[in-house]
Amino acid sequence: MFRKRHPPTGAQPGTLVIAADALAPQFRVMRYKPSSLHEQDVGRYSDLSKSLSDDTVSWIDVQGLGDEVALRSIASQFHMHPLALEDVVNVPQRPKLERFDDQLLIILRMTRPPKGRRFDSEQISIVVGPNYVITLQEKYGDVFNPVRARIRQGGPIFRSSGTAYLVYALLDAVIDGYYPLLESYGHSMDELEETITTNPQPAALTQLHRLRKDFSSMRRAIWPVREVISELARDETPLITERARQHLRDCQDHCVQIIDVVEIFREMASSLMDLHLSTLANKQNEVMKTLTIMASVFIPLTFIAGIYGMNFENMPELGVAWAYPAVLGLMAFLGALMMALFWFNGWLGGAKKEE
């Protein structure tokens, strides 16, 4: 996840690296003011900036980054800095907030539907201008449907609160997207704990290692977001209204809470690894004890049987009538003695508390 699709070393800044299998961009525009909403799937990208107006907010949603001409056209229509465009296209970048003259660029990692419980995410770039917001992402599909629904509903607050509120809503949706993921990881951890305690299997180990990897990735994805939102809430820029700042602080609390949970998961994963090792050592101890008991009881007895199996001519005991039962008795006694010793040492679950 953290391998950057980077331009050739030392290339000109602003060089875009577009993979051969990149998806063709789809454009969707929502333009709204308190009294109206205009929603449109746009085919031609060359007129996107023309329909901006001061009393509406335009949300231009670009999914798929596979067409350099289109991307450069958008960048020039909205006066994006070449480095901003590079950050948008050459994913993944670290989550960050970049300030330009009359624009903000916010880069975040948005969760995607998990594949087989693994953490999956992609970069979402949000370009914020005075009366427009552009979101750009590589793949189709996002976590913003609830935001769209709220715009359509046309609640009094949303449509009259400008771009700042839209930005907040998008950030909030991205951050809320982590909660179901955390829940799923919580279940995985509980199951693993169960498995490891009762029946430590190699498979559990590998799964634990994968979880640790995911937690590492999540941590790196969510930590900088805290800073991004905090900067946004403190920023002097007129693009963020006072009202939105209050909401952003709430958003930041959620972000910190997610960080907390990820940290707890990391600690637990490390504790589980210890638990696994100890459980294994315990099991091995059991196995060793079994072996030792069996061997220690029977090896001496077999030795005795071996003695009387020797073929010396002069072995007077062999002729004694009660010798056989006597030897059998001796064997039984020795076996019992060994077992008693082991019991006394606590190997059979008895005695030996005082060590």
87 to 126, contacts with a copy of itself by CB under 8 A? 87, 93-94, 96, 98
Query: Phi/psi at 191 (nearest 5 deg)?
Result: -60, -45
- State the Cα–Cα distance between residues 17 and 25, nearest whole angstrom: 15
202 binds a copy of itself (CB under 8 A): yes
Can you name the residues that pair with 105 across neighbouring β-strands?
Answer: 98, 127
Q: How far is the CB of 294 from a copy of itself (least distance, A)?
A: 4
Q: Are strands 57-63 and 132-137 parallel, antiparallel or unpaired?
A: parallel
> How many residues bind to a copy of itself according to rule CB under 8 A?
123
Residues 7-36 that bind a copy of itself (CB under 8 A): 7-13
User: Which has the closest alpha carbon to 147: 213, 61, 83, 89?
Assistant: 61
Cβ-based nearer residue to a copy of itself, 52 or 339: 339
Is-contact 60 163, C-beta < 8 A?
A: no
Edge-to-edge strand ranges of the sheet holding 26-33: 36-42, 26-33, 57-63, 132-137, 121-128, 104-111, 96-99
Q: How far is the CB of 291 from a copy of itself (least distance, A)?
A: 4
- State the Cα–Cα distance between residues 239 and 103, nearest whole angstrom: 8
206 binds a copy of itself (CB under 8 A): yes
Residues 45-84 that bind a copy of itself (CB under 8 A): 81, 83
Task: Candidates 39, 47, 102, 183: give the one binding a copy of itself (CB under 8 A).
Answer: 183
Task: Candidates 33, 283, 330, 336: give the one binding a copy of itself (CB under 8 A).
Answer: 283
145 binds a copy of itself (CB under 8 A): yes
Q: How far is the CB of 37 from a copy of itself (least distance, A)?
A: 16
- State the Cα–Cα distance between residues 249 and 119, nearest whole angstrom: 26
User: Three-class SS of residue 143?
Assistant: coil
Cβ-based nearer residue to a copy of itself, 68 or 298: 298
Angle at the Cα of 223 from the Cα atoms of 217 and 227, rounded to 5 degrees: 150
Cβ-based nearer residue to a copy of itself, 54 or 281: 281
Which range of residues in 17-25, 38-46, 72-80, 168-176 is near a copy of itself by CB under 8 A? 168-176
User: Which has the closest alpha carbon to 192: 212, 210, 208, 214?
Assistant: 208
Residues 249-278 that bind a copy of itself (CB under 8 A): 249-250, 253-254, 256-257, 260-261, 263-264, 267-268, 271-278
245 binds a copy of itself (CB under 8 A): no
Q: How far is the CB of 27 from a copy of itself (least distance, A)?
A: 21
Residues 296-315 that bind a copy of itself (CB under 8 A): 296, 298-303, 305-315
Which range of residues in 16-24, 67-75, 178-186, 228-236 is near a copy of itself by CB under 8 A? 178-186
- State the Cα–Cα distance between residues 330 and 326, nearest whole angstrom: 6
236 binds a copy of itself (CB under 8 A): no
- 28 burial via Cβ count (<10 Å: 0-12, 13-18, 19+): middle
